[in-house]
Structure 1
Amino acid sequence: MIRGWLAEGIIMVQKTPYYSYVVGELPKGCQYCVRGEKLVLFVTGVCPRNCFYCPLSPWRRKDVVYANERPVRSEKDIIEEAKIQDARGAGITGGDPLARLSRTVEYIRLLKEEFGKKFHIHLYTTGILASEEALEKLYDAGLDEIRFHPDLFQPNSKFFEREIENMKKAFDFGWDVGGEVPAVPGFEDRIKWFASLLDKLGAKFLNINELEFSETNLRALLDRGYKPVSDESSAIKGSLEMGLKVLEWGEKNTSLNYHLCTAKLKDAVQLRNRLKRMAKNVARPYMEITEDGTLRFGIAEYDDLEELYEFLVEEAEVPREWLYINWEKKRIEMPVEVAEELADAIEGDVKFYIVEEYPTWDRIEVERIPL
């Protein structure tokens, strides 16, 4: 049972407005994240481990860099993406960012120099490569929060002892230290052990993520007997419930802050809020911003776009400022109302649609309605 505050002021497990659960307070990095204010900076897909539950897509399991959905080819791409998002911080992830330490340190410095010391940066690492020298470089660059993800779920891991010993070194620096692990059903005792260790070392928090199926971990999870919550969900049955048990145990037995991050939070809150922030900065005058942060507008498709454009301006008398030729996607974009009127008035090979797409670099189309 999820409880609220007791009259005596004792902290219990609380459900947040973000469809997640917390004991104490959200880690600072999460506070920015749920508001959609964190740039997701993927610095490399390289990782010294090969976790059976890793959700990374095949095209990211390489030495590639992304700022949100944008492939990074220069530092300007990172800054531009952060500005489009109105980001107030960044989460540095991978792979393991420490597998490309110089690059990671360079990006931390870049963001701090561009946006100031208050730009909050947190980083995820396995801990395998977190030597004292590496940690010192990250701290000196301005990293605010470091989250360790040791190999709790694979028996006889050759990395485990090194991960734990390296994690202990992180407490010599003046940043926030915490743990972040998936809620893998069947490993409740291992996560409790990790929580106890974090508490003993003086960590601030433990984040537990609801485990989900992905394209790349599906077979490994099914082979281990894990099942989805339902046909409509990618969340794994029993993961959320186990996470809640750890939180209730942790509230009674440790002084850590806990956050159980659900699959719903990532889609319904984090992504949605980020899209809204981006949409305000990328929407053209003819585009509507929906409640979900997507862009909605009309389009016309035809073999000769220049011919169609001139016809719409000269013959249909559509103001030029209402039309935009998108050469890359081979279409003319316009307000929804204009597309609806033109679809009723123009016959022939011109096709009109109402489309809805993400305001992200890749502009994924989520809906197309023919007129």
Structure 2
Amino acid sequence: MRETPYYSYVVGELPEGCKYCVRGEKLVLFVTGVCPRNCFYCPLSPWRRKDVVYANERPVKSVKDIIEEAKIQDARGAGVTGGDPLARLSRTIEYIKALKEEFGKKFHIHLYTTGILADEKALQKLYDAGLDEIRFHPDLFEPNSKFLQREIENMKKAFDFSWDVGGEVPAVPGFGDRIKWFASLLDNMGGRFLNINELEFSETNLRNLLTRGYRPISDESSAIKGSLELGLEILEWGEKNTSLNYHLCTAKLKDAVQLRNRLIRMAKNVARPYMEITEDGTLRFGIAEYEDLEELYELLVEEAGVPEEWLYINWEKKRIEMPVEVAEELADAIEGDVKFYIVEEYPTWDRVEVERIPLN
């Protein structure tokens, strides 16, 4: 077992899908929030627990939205997730085919599924569409699960096709023996890897986890106490007792590496000339807010002498955007009700604002 440069831990080698993911090269394609299971630890937000589609943060209305988002990210692959993508199999097949047709066979696509709906016909369609890697997440954490036997039987069928087959489960404290059982089973079937995720609190699973006695590792973290330690224990055990590759994906990897690298890739393609790209991949620029934007624009150009190419009217957010240096100079020179700020935003579709500094 060794630690990676991505704050995670590995036995053997990283699964192929993870290699792209840690570099920020994987488009996150959320096909549907529909799922045949209701796991107590599911972190999905309420607005995603529906039959909706997202490419990263972008709501999807057509295949064109997915292709455009992949191009903005300079994506070299996609992770197809949900819910369970097989709950909307036709849609999933359509998207996989479209991505392969647009970006070629080397565009790596992996998919997560519970396995409940992964019968032979579904697996054949996924394989024919060009899926490269399939990851099973069986129902290990519910006693007397009514799904587990069917999930395992369907997982066996996946080995009839020449793609990478693996597992992906959270490290739920108290269930180490169940995860080891699944690892042994996967190894005996000929699986390539088991990916283990550090369990985290979210808005939607908080109550379920607290009532079961789980606690965060600190007031500043959403990671669950004991999850990382269990993951490390399983990797140590797996290295001695199986031939699988293992990857322990930590909460820190998701935030400090995966998201950051994706933001940097996107920022290069969406930044306007007046925007700075920070080392974290956010966009930094100045803004001016005023009730009448046309009047303000005219004032800045004609009276303050600001070149038009340095200004952009953002009608949606009701502001004028500009270089930081220009905003700093204007904040000292213009009096009245005009408010100047330096802002930082994610380069994502929803442009989440992460910082705002008032200048006047």
Instruction: Provide the TM-score with structure 1 as the length reference.
Output: 0.97
1:125 aligns with 2:113: yes
| 2:18 aligned with 1:18 | no
The whole-number CA distance in structure 1 between the counterparts of 2:49 and 2:320 is: 36
Residue by residue, what CA displacement relative to the aligned partner does 1:19-50 show, whole Å, maximum 9, x if unpaired?
Answer: 00000000000000000000000000000000
* 1:206-252 Cα shifts (integer Å, max 9, x gaps): 00000000000000000000000000000000000000000000000
Aligned to 1:101: 89
Q: Which residue identity lines up with residue 5 of structure 2 in the other structure?
A: P
1:275-294 to 2 correspondence within 5 Å? Answer: 275-294=263-282
For 1:294 and 1:238, locate their aligned partners in 2 and report how far apart those are by CA, in whole Å.
32
- The residue that corresponds to 1:3 in the other structure is none
Matched, 1:343 2:331: yes
Q: Which one of 209, 234, 246 corresponds to residue 221 of structure 1?
A: 209
The corresponding residue for 1:252 is: 240
Residue 234 of structure 1 is aligned with which of 213, 222, 228? 222
Task: For 1:85-234, list aligned pairs within 5 A.
Answer: 85-234=73-222
Superimposed CA distance per residue, residues 182-214 of structure 1 (whole angstroms, 9 cap, x where no aligned partner): 000000000000000010000000000000000
Q: Which amino acid aligns with 2:255?
A: D
Task: Please report the RMSD computed on the Cα atoms of aligned residues, expressed in angstroms.
Answer: 0.2
TM-score normalised by L of structure 2 = 1.00
Q: State the one-letter code of the partner of 2:114.
A: T
Query: In 2, Cα distance between the equivalents of 1:187 and 1:326?
Result: 51
Looking at structure 2, the residues matched to 20 and 320 of structure 1 have their Cα atoms a distance apart, in angstroms, of 47
The whole-number CA distance in structure 1 between the counterparts of 2:159 and 2:67 is: 30
Q: Percent identity?
A: 90
In structure 2, which of residues 52, 67, 80 is the aligned counterpart of residue 64 of structure 1? 52
- What letter corresponds to residue 359 of structure 1 in structure 2? P
Match of 1:318 in 2: 306
Q: What per-residue deviation string (whole Å, max 9, x for no partner) do you get for residues 293-345 of structure 1?
A: 00000000000000000110000000000000000000000000000000000
User: Equivalent residue of 2:72, what SS?
Assistant: helix
1:73 alignment counterpart: 61
State the distance in 2 between where 1:150 and 1:195 align. 11
Note the C-alpha offset of 1:158.
Answer: 0.6
Q: 2:116 is aligned with what amino acid?
A: I
Query: Using the alignment, how far apart are the partners of 2:263 and 2:209 within structure 1?
Result: 30
Q: Which residue of 1 aligns with 2:40?
A: 52
CA distance in 1, matches of 2:231, 2:299: 61
Q: Secondary structure of 1:172's match?
A: coil
Q: Which runs of 4+ in 1 moved over 2 A?
A: none
Query: Number of paired residues?
Result: 359
- Secondary structure of residue in 2 paired with 1:227: coil
> Match for 1:68: what amino acid?
N
Which of 23, 29, 38 in structure 2 is aligned with 1:41? 29
> Residue by residue, what CA displacement relative to the aligned partner does 1:85-140 show, whole Å, maximum 9, x if unpaired?
00000000000000000000000000000000000000000000000000000000
Q: Which amino acid aligns with 2:204?
A: T
Match of 1:333 in 2: 321
Letter in 1 for 2:13: E
CA distance in 2 between partners of 1:69 and 1:316 (Å)? 38
Partner residue, 1:243: 231
Task: Give 1:17 shift.
Answer: 0.1
Q: Does 1:362 align with 2:334?
A: no
Structure 2 match to 1:272: 260
Deviations 1:139-165 (A, max 9, x none): 000000000000000001111100000
Q: Give the partner amino acid of 1:367.
A: E
Q: Which runs of 5+ in 1 are unaligned?
A: 1-12
Between the aligned partners of 1:294 and 1:154, the Cα distance in structure 2 is 41
Aligned counterparts of 1:30 and 1:169: Cα–Cα separation in 2: 23
